[in-house]
Amino acid sequence: MSTSTQTIEQLANREYKYGFVTDVEQESAPRGLSEDIIRLISEKKDEPAWLLDWRLKAFRAWQTMKEPTWGNIKYGPIDYQNIIYYAAPKKRPALQTLDEVDPEIRRTFEKLGIPLEEQKLLSGVAVDAVFDSVSVATTFKEHLAELGIIFCSFSEAVRNHPDLVRQYLGSVVPYTDNFFATLNSAVFSDGSFAYIPNGVRCPMELSTYFRINARETGQFERTLIIAEADSHVSYLEGCTAPMRDENQLHAAVVELVALDNATIKYSTVQNWYPGDSAGRGGIYNFVTKRGKCLGVNSKITWTQVETGSAITWKYPGCILMGDNSVGEFYSVATTNNWQQADTGTKMIHLGRNTKSTIVSKGISAGHGQNTYRGLVKIAKGARSARNYSQCDSLLIGDQCGAHTFPYLEINNSTAQVEHEASTSKIGEDQIFYCRQRGLSTEDAVNMIVSGFCKEVFRQLPMEFAVEAQKLLSVSLEGSVG
Amino acid sequence: MLTVSNLHAAAAGREILRGIDLSISAGEVHAIMGPNGSGKSTLARVLAGHPEYQVTAGEVRFECVDLLAMDPESRARAGVFMAFQYPVEIPGVSNAYFLKAALNALRASRGQEELDAIEFMTLVRDRMAQLGIDEALLTRPVNDGFSGGEKKRNEIFQMTMLEPRLAILDETDSGLDIDALKIVAQGVNAMRRSDRAFLLVTHYQRLLNYIVPDVVHVLADGRIVRSGGKELAFELEEKGYGWLEAQVGG
């Protein structure tokens, strides 16, 4: 065995950095799913009747649906009756300041490096921290409120802004959309809500850290962002989860609505527990994310860096309704060890002169399987629509796989659609070249991979790009040998 | 500085080097010539530690240290540089970033402080001017989309930045037009110093018109069959490799 292989194997044996469990008294619902459980969730959250009704309709629809099997992913059956659908840290009186937050939870956030500390807040990040299912702290809200921006937990939005929630909930991802989104609609626990009023440019990156903590608790987050006419918002979502033996199901829904001339930038770094090197454990991540460019000249950009989870199944898409609206999707997806990712986007062009850009970078290492699946649909009325797609795959080692499934549906002859794809392999020669210049194998791989992902990282806000790059190198440790 | 004794090396189970003996002192320029398949490039790559080759016998000492026991990056950090015959492309990584990472890795291994961006750029501009290289090269991805000549010049540029003790040039002259060849030669000549040595691997005598070697070795079938002064290169050019092979065979 060469020395580089040994070094790499040592690195590979390092433990998942974020694998710890916070010991907070939990309040959980019994296992399983029924109308009673949904009523319980709704009651715990003190929800209005219309929302309970919506959940129940979703649940009834879900009972008639089948789990999709078209994904290029393999996993054992999920027992939906063996999942706890609601867990919350024990109720405490409403919190006025950060000091009142449970010290255990504070320590967890600190370990994760979440900027809840005052000095970190000064760096300009407002955080709505979702600890398991209930929001425990929201910061910067007052400053944002002065501008008329609403940034709060989903539950709070239901309480304080029911009309907005009612108007937009399910307007992009209807409760009948797909098996996992429908399940989410029935049981979602909490999530984030942002509303940017007319003409306001949100002065800071809005940021949410989701964290799966309670053992065997499915996470069903729901996020809704509404950007009114002429507004602008950039939203960051980052995740880490503690180490677990059992697989955990995660089925989130994110809905974005952009009105005339509005811009929404949604960036994700996903680093949930990917399972161990033998493929045991890890998060199952079935996510539905969709944005609607409802207004003219509106723009929605999805940027994702997916390094974690045992299974990733997500296709953040854009419905380009408004004339001249723009949809963008920039993605880096990494699969190492036994991780599987089936991810991509859907760009649905309905309005005239609508434009979409897709840049997808898949990195496969170990026994990882990485699939790009994307749909570009140009509707009959979408005159002069344009799409550019680029799908690149990078292979590290010879046990992994890369797959590309681009679907095109073009119903208007004025459309211009371009698709480029490439597959390359990190070669011994590239690594040797770097080592001959004095760089270690690990640094060489990191450099080659970040070069490959450059176009996507460029889309991320600065601090996030640095974090993403670090995550990528951690997730690829042990991949070359 | 470099002592190679009875070096045997193989690739994919096939023996290519069959007992090389070579000694290079500081300040010297040695040229290794020989027909295709004689093992010239293999020798260069084995010295640099390319993982494709297995050393089956022999010893290499670089400044009294066992070079073969070191991994490629340690050899580089000890001052061994190889200009590649086929420089490798690294898309998305700028030349400047790559070079700064390499330079700082070498500096760190010597206990020197890393250069900051300003110090680095000052050095880069100085070296680029010496070689007449366009600064646009810095922002381009490493060797990606470079012409053959640009790649070779980039190797020499890296060499002048990294300031090795022993520089091995693996057929840097092949595929170069006369102007590019002159630039390469000028870069090497400017770096000749009493504490630095060069090993030039070349198929043609042409390069040696511009870089005058102290010693010329002729490699055939994995062995050095003849060594001599610079006039050996002219003799070879005139008579061809067949002449030597016939002599050795007879």
Which residues of chain A are within 8 Å of residue B50 when distances are taken between CB atoms?
Answer: 432
Kindly report, residue by residue over A284-327, the tens digit of the pLDDT.
Answer: 999 999 999 999 999 999 999 998 889 999 999 999 999 999 99
The domain that holds B232 is classified in CATH as: 3.40.50.300
Interatomic CA distance for residues A149 and A155, integer angstroms? 17
Q: Which domain holds residue B91?
A: 2-249
DSSP letters, B78-92, are HTEEEE-SSPPPEEE
Which residues of chain B are within 8 Å of residue A440 when distances are taken between CB atoms?
Answer: 73, 105
Identify the bridge partners of residue A387 per DSSP, sorted by sequence position: A356, A417
**A457-460 long-range contacts, CB within 8 A, separation 24+:** A457/A305, A457/A332, A459/A267, A459/A301, A459/A303, A459/A328, A459/A330, A460/A267, A460/A269, A460/A303, A460/A305
Question: Under an 8 A CB cutoff, do A437 and B91 touch?
Answer: no
Q: Is residue A346 part of a domain?
A: yes
Q: Is residue A36 part of a domain?
A: yes
B105, two tokens: 């890795």
Question: Under an 8 A CB cutoff, do A438 and B141 touch?
Answer: no
Using a pLDDT cut of 90, give the percent of chain A over it: 55
Interatomic CA distance for residues B7 and A284, integer angstroms? 54
B190, two tokens: 């400017």
Average pLDDT (A91-106) is 57
Interatomic CA distance for residues A247 and A240, integer angstroms? 15
Q: Which domain holds residue A329?
A: 3-475
Which pLDDT score, from 0 to 100, does residue A107 have?
62
Interatomic CA distance for residues A221 and A154, integer angstroms? 9
Q: Is residue A129 part of a domain?
A: yes
Which residues of chain B are within 8 Å of residue A1 when distances are taken between CB atoms?
Answer: none
Question: Under an 8 A CB cutoff, do A450 and B72 touch?
Answer: no
A105, two tokens: 């939870």
Q: Is residue A372 part of a domain?
A: yes
Interatomic CA distance for residues B55 and A241, integer angstroms? 47
pLDDT greater than 80 at residue A8: no
Structurally, chain A folds into a number of domains equal to 1
Which pLDDT score, from 0 to 100, does residue A103 have?
66
CB count in 10 Å sphere of residue B6: 12
Predicted ipTM of the assembly: 0.95
Virtual CA dihedral for A89, A91, A95, A101, nearest 10 degrees? -30
| Higher-scoring residue by pLDDT: B32, B35 | B32
pLDDT greater than 90 at residue A26: no
β-strands B14-24, B2-11: how paired? antiparallel
Which pLDDT score, from 0 to 100, does residue A132 have?
45
Nearest to A12 by CA among A450, A424, A439, A396: A396
Which pLDDT score, from 0 to 100, does residue A121 have?
40
Question: Under an 8 A CB cutoff, do B101 and A430 touch?
Answer: no
3-state SS record for chain B: CEEEEEEEEEECCEEEEEEEEEEECCCCEEEEECCCCCCHHHHHHHHHCCCCEEEEEEEEEECCEEHHHCCHHHHHHHCEEEECCCCCCEEEEEHHHHHHHHHHHHHHHCCCCCCCHHHHHHHHHHHHHHHCCCHHHHCCEECCCCCHHHHHHHHHHHHHHHCCCEEEEECCCCCCCHHHHHHHHHHHHHHCCCCCEEEEECCCCHHHHCCCCCEEEEEECCEEEEEECCHHHHHHHHHCHHHHHHHHHC
Phi–psi pair at A422, nearest 5 degrees: -150, 150
Average pLDDT (A109-132) is 48
| Higher-scoring residue by pLDDT: A92, A270 | A270
**Length of chain A as a residue count:** 481
Question: Under an 8 A CB cutoff, do B93 and A433 touch?
Answer: no
Using a pLDDT cut of 70, give the percent of chain A over it: 78
Structurally, chain B folds into a number of domains equal to 1
Residue type, A217: T
Closest residue on chain B to A428 (Cα): B51
CA A435 to chain B, closest CA, distance in angstroms equals: 5
The enclosing H or E element of B226 equals strand B223-228
A327, two tokens: 């949809």
Cβ contact A254:A266 at 8 Å: yes
B161 touches chain A (CB under 8 A): no
pLDDT greater than 90 at residue A392: yes
B88 touches chain A (CB under 8 A): yes
Q: Is residue A235 part of a domain?
A: yes
